[in-house]
Amino acid sequence: MSNLPSLIATDVDFDRPGFQTGTLRLPWSHDTSAYGHVPIPLAVLNAGTGPTVLLTGGNHGDEYEGPVALMKLLQRLPSMTIRGRLIVIPALNFPAFINGSRTSPIDRGNLNRLFPGARNGQPTEMIAHYVETELLPRADIVIDLHAGGASFDHLPTLLASPPPHGEQRTRYFELVRAFGAPNTMIMDLLGEDRTFAAAAERHGKLFLCGEFGGHAGCDAANLAIVEQGLDRMLHQLGVTFETSVPRAAATRFLRVEGARHYVYSPLAGVFEPAFALGDEVREGQLAGRLFDPHRPWQAPQDIHFRGDGTVMCLRTFARVEPGDCIALLASETHAD
């Protein structure tokens, strides 16, 4: 990663007191705009002493509960009294968000697989580099809001990356319980280290994200979970002072336990599921049948679960290719 400053610029002064709106100017020189840029909207409310909370959505452009919750928060920011600083970016991968796609239409970049990014890279790499070099050093707590997008539906779940021990771990679980999502899942990304979560961990920041729905829609019930969770978490941090914050319900803790909790398609075809979102399943149980559309007379291939657990997310597209993830399971666990 280059030690030179990011090529992304902004007129927002992160250190200036008060409320500001503006854009991050992502350079993009192309056939019809030689000196152009992509403006990525953001807002900052700075009240001085206190924690800095970075709130982002639209890391993937077809996930909407987070961006909508943050756009609604932006409506409130000018009238809010806070302690510390809020940096709010409703759609971090803005080209993907405007396109309604998981990846950027400019360079096909999946932002959540490109950290630490590259100063002189493609536009999506430049966004990751800006977050890594400019935003993460300023933040104390990072909250990145996701959903399943077009290809997945996901139970409303906070994804936790708790520090291993000590006071930071205790504080982290206080925030998790304050958010009060129905489910909190300790992820196993099978060694993936190019994510926003991995970047935040490298910087020693408290990082929370979540999956709140899918189908590339905006579910009202899941949106309410996000909005109320953010309000409770900001209150727990001492950033806000509202007395009418609704009480958090108890969250159910779960853990993804390696490859056995993932279900992948071995072949191309059409998948018929034998389970539903939220089902409790057992190792060896039928997950579904895979049909070959080119040989419809051929018996389908049975696919079985390789572990016990709750179905946390499932693929929304029936058409699959080899290696497509069909479902993700998790087992109940304890916060400690």
Which tens digits make up the pLDDT trace of 180-226? 999 999 877 777 899 999 999 999 999 999 999 999 999 999 999 99
Query: Right CATH number for 262-332 from 3.10.180.10, 2.40.50.100, 1.10.8.50, 3.30.1490.120?
Result: 2.40.50.100
Q: What are the domain boundaries of the chain?
A: 9-255, 262-332
Equal fold, 9-255 vs 262-332: no
**Average of per-residue pLDDT values in the chain:** 95
- Inform me whether the pLDDT recorded for 156 exceeds 80: yes
**CATH numeric code, 9-255:** 3.40.630.10
Residue 124 — φ and ψ, nearest 5°? -70, -35
Give the residue-averaged pLDDT of 234-247: 87
H or E stretch including 299? none
Give the residue-averaged pLDDT of 112-133: 97
